[in-house]
Amino acid sequence: MGIFSFLTQEIAIDLGTANTLIIWNDKVVVDEPSIVAKDIQSGKIVAIGKKAQQMHGKTHELIKTVRPLKDGVIADFQSAEQMIRGMIKMINSGRSLFNPTLRMVICIPSGITEVEKRAVRDSAEHAGAKEVYLIHEPMAAAIGIGIDVEEPMGNMIIDIGGGTSEIAVIALGGIVCDKSIRVAGDDFTADIEEYMRRQHNILVGERTAEQIKIEVGAALPELEDPPPKYAVRGRDLMTGIPKEILVSYTEVAQALDATISKIEEAIHSALEMTPPELSADIYKTGIYLAGGGSMLRGLDDRISSKTKLPVHIADDPLRAVARGTSIALKNIDKYQFLIKD
């Protein structure tokens, strides 16, 4: 590192569809929803992260909220760049007399195309990064959980984020086989919105559906420790008047069933692709779950009963990928799998 280390600022970014986390100096310094609010006339950013999230679904015609990432990849290049830049400013607020050189490690879905990779890299460079490294999400999640990825031992990681579910078998510092599907937390939210409309004739917004998922979301219709019913407010489709209803976790489990089945199919197909020696390892070590989606009540039990394998949830599933990205950043020379053009 040497004398010029203070001139280089190293940051690890988990650029997620739902949330973006930035780790600097081993600390999570930014943990914000991946959303920006823009002034339509000037194109200027009005708010980023939590502030923009509060405006989501409540804006007038001069302000619009944008989620720059969709299905784990950048859908709106300009907004993504402004969001990354704004979030980096959050770290430096009030203490930067000069601009240090930025070195970034950003995690990306394993099923990403070259074009999508280039979009992530360009956004980071436009936001001020001099050096950009990329790491695949399941690999970052494995490192963050504390698995020694360099070992000749097979481990299966499932990272259920907002836009993608990443399923990968990792051994010897590489991904042996992987399955990346664009079915994840956002689909759970959409399912809940649809269910409320169809079943209860009540229209709820994305933020309310997200809240239902957090409060009473479940993967199984019967849980040992069930959450209490949750009061949902929305617009009655028959009368057009706001109303409140109570929703139970059993209903939510019913609403999410089809989407969870798609994730189970992907897990099954990844297991089918796994070489036999690694299958033997996975039988012993089981499956590791990370990402916000893995916090859905009963999901581990459901996957376990489907695969007949032990399923472990990471200690802090929301931050496992960000932690792993940060560890990879500190050991850039050691980890050969970091992608740098």
C-alpha dihedral (126, 131, 134, 135), degrees to nearest 10: -140
The per-residue pLDDT for 99 is: 63
Q: What percent of the chain has pLDDT over 90?
A: 78
* pLDDT tens per residue, range 112-151: 889 989 999 999 998 888 989 999 999 999 999 999 999 9
Domains, the chain: 150-183+259-315 (3.30.420.40), 185-255 (3.90.640.10)
The per-residue pLDDT for 127 is: 86
Q: Which two tokens stand for residue 228?
A: 């209490």
The per-residue pLDDT for 6 is: 58
* CB neighbour list of residue 253: distance below 8 Å, 6 or more residues apart: 218, 219, 220, 221, 298
CA distance linking residue 7 with residue 191, whole number of Å:
47
Neighbouring C-beta atoms of residue 257, cutoff 10 Å: 14
CA distance linking residue 299 with residue 221, whole number of Å:
11
**pTM of the entire structure?**
0.90
* pLDDT tens per residue, range 277-303: 999 999 999 999 999 999 999 999 999
